[in-house]
Structure 1
Amino acid sequence: MSRFAILDTPIVDLKIIERQQLGDSRGFLSRLFCAEELAAAGWRKPIAQINHTFTQKSGTVRGMHFQQPPHCEMKLVTCLRGAIWDVAVDLRAGSPTFLQWHAEELSAANRRALLIPEGFAHGFQTIHDDCELLYLHTAFYTPEAEAGLNPNDSKLSISWPLDIAELSSRDAQHPLLDHQFKGMML
C-alpha cells in the first residue's frame, strides 16, 4: 500500500508529494520518506544530508538557492510546523519551462512536500510565525558550488503572498538575471 500520492505540477519533474496519515485515538503515523515509493517521482539517489530549519517571523524569505554542477541536488522539502509558500525555479538549460517558477503551500496541516529535482533554485516565504522545515538532499552542501537567484528579480516575477518582512543580506545580494544566463547543463 502506497503511503504517498505523487502529483504533477506544470513544470516537468517538479512533484508534489502528499503523505497518507494513518491515525487513531493515540495520534498518527505519516511516512516522511521511502526510497522505493519515491523512485516513481524521480528520487533515485541516496540521501546525503538532512537539514532542519526554523524561521521565526512571518513574511521572511529564504532563497532562491541552488548548487552548480556537478554538485546539483534533488531536495524533498517538508514543513513540520507552521506554513510556507515554497517556490522552485527551473534553471535547466533547454527546458521548455526554463526560468518558470511554481509554488505550493506546504504546512504541517496539509502534510504536503515538494520534490525539487536537480537543476532548480529553491526558496520559501513563511506565511505563519515559527515555521520549521525538514530538507532531504541527494548531495552534500558544497560551499564553492553555492549560488542563488535574487528573490526580487523582476525577470522571475515571483508572486510572494506577503510583503517581504525579512531577507538575509546574502540573499538580497544575489545578482539579477541578465541575457547571459543560459541555465545549467546537467
Structure 2
Amino acid sequence: MEIQETGLKDCVIIKPRVFEDTRGYFFESFNKNTFEAKTGLSGNFVQDNESFSSYGVIRGLHAQSGEHAQAKLVRVLKGEVLDVAVDARPGSPTYGKHISVKLSAENHLQLYVPRGFLHGFSVLSETAEFFYKCDNFYNKASELGVIYNDADLAIDWMIPEDKAAVSEKDLILNTFSSLK
C-alpha cells in the first residue's frame, strides 16, 4: 500500500499493491493494521455503502455533522468518477479548500475522506459502481450539504452543465459560506 498526500490534512490517496497475471488481478482493498500503520489514522469502519450511477450524475456535497460525523474510505468497483473532498473543519488551515481525484476500476485508487469534510463525486464513464466504508453510522437528522456548483468552491466536476444529473435534494442545498 502506498500513501499519497493530497495537501489537505488527513485526506490521503491510497494506492494498493495490485498483483496481476494472466488470470486477472488480486489486491487487498483494506487491512486495518496496515491502514493504521501507514496513515496514522483510525480504521474503525462500521458501515459499507454502494451506489450505481450513469454518466453525468453528480452526488454531493454531503457530510454528517456532530457526533454522527463520518470518515469515509471510497473507491470505484466499475467505471470512473471524479471524487471531491472539501475541508469544512472550522479552524483547519485548509478550510474551504478541496481536492479532486479520478478514481476508477482500472487505477484501483482509494481516497480517505476525514470527518468534517464534505464529499461528492461525478460519474465520468458510461456507468459507475461506487463503494465506501464509513467509520460511523448514518443518521438522517445529522445530514448536511453544500450545493455542488457553489461559486466560492468553484469545483470543476468535469461534466458539462447541460449533462449534469443532480437530485432534487442536492439542488436545494445551501452554499459553503452558509455553513455554521
Q: Which amino acid aligns with 1:33?
A: F
- After superposition, residues 66-81 of structure 1 pair within 5 angstroms as 66-81=63-78
Cα distance in 2 between the residues matched to 1:42 and 1:173: 37
- After superposition, residues 54-69 of structure 1 pair within 5 angstroms as 54-56=52-54, 58-69=55-66
Corresponding residue for residue 158 of structure 2? 161
TM-score by length of 2: 0.94
Asked if 1:90 corresponds to 2:83, the answer is no
CA RMSD of aligned residues (A): 1.2
TM-score by length of 1: 0.91
Cα distance in 1 between the residues matched to 2:67 and 2:43: 14
Q: Which amino acid aligns with 1:49?
A: Q
**What residue ranges of structure 1 are gaps of 5+ in the alignment?**
none
Corresponding residue for residue 21 of structure 2? 24
Cα distance in 2 between the residues matched to 1:7 and 1:103: 13
Corresponding residue for residue 175 of structure 1? 174
Cα distance in 1 between the residues matched to 2:159 and 2:179: 28
Which one of the candidate residues 111, 115, 127 is aligned to 1:114? 111
**What residue ranges of structure 2 are gaps of 5+ in the alignment?**
none
Asked if 1:9 corresponds to 2:11, the answer is no
Deviations 1:51-99 (A, max 9, x none): 111002x121001000001111110000111100000000111111101
Sequence identity (%): 34
Deviations 1:124-168 (A, max 9, x none): 000011100110000000001011111011011111112142000
Structure with the largest fraction of helix: 2
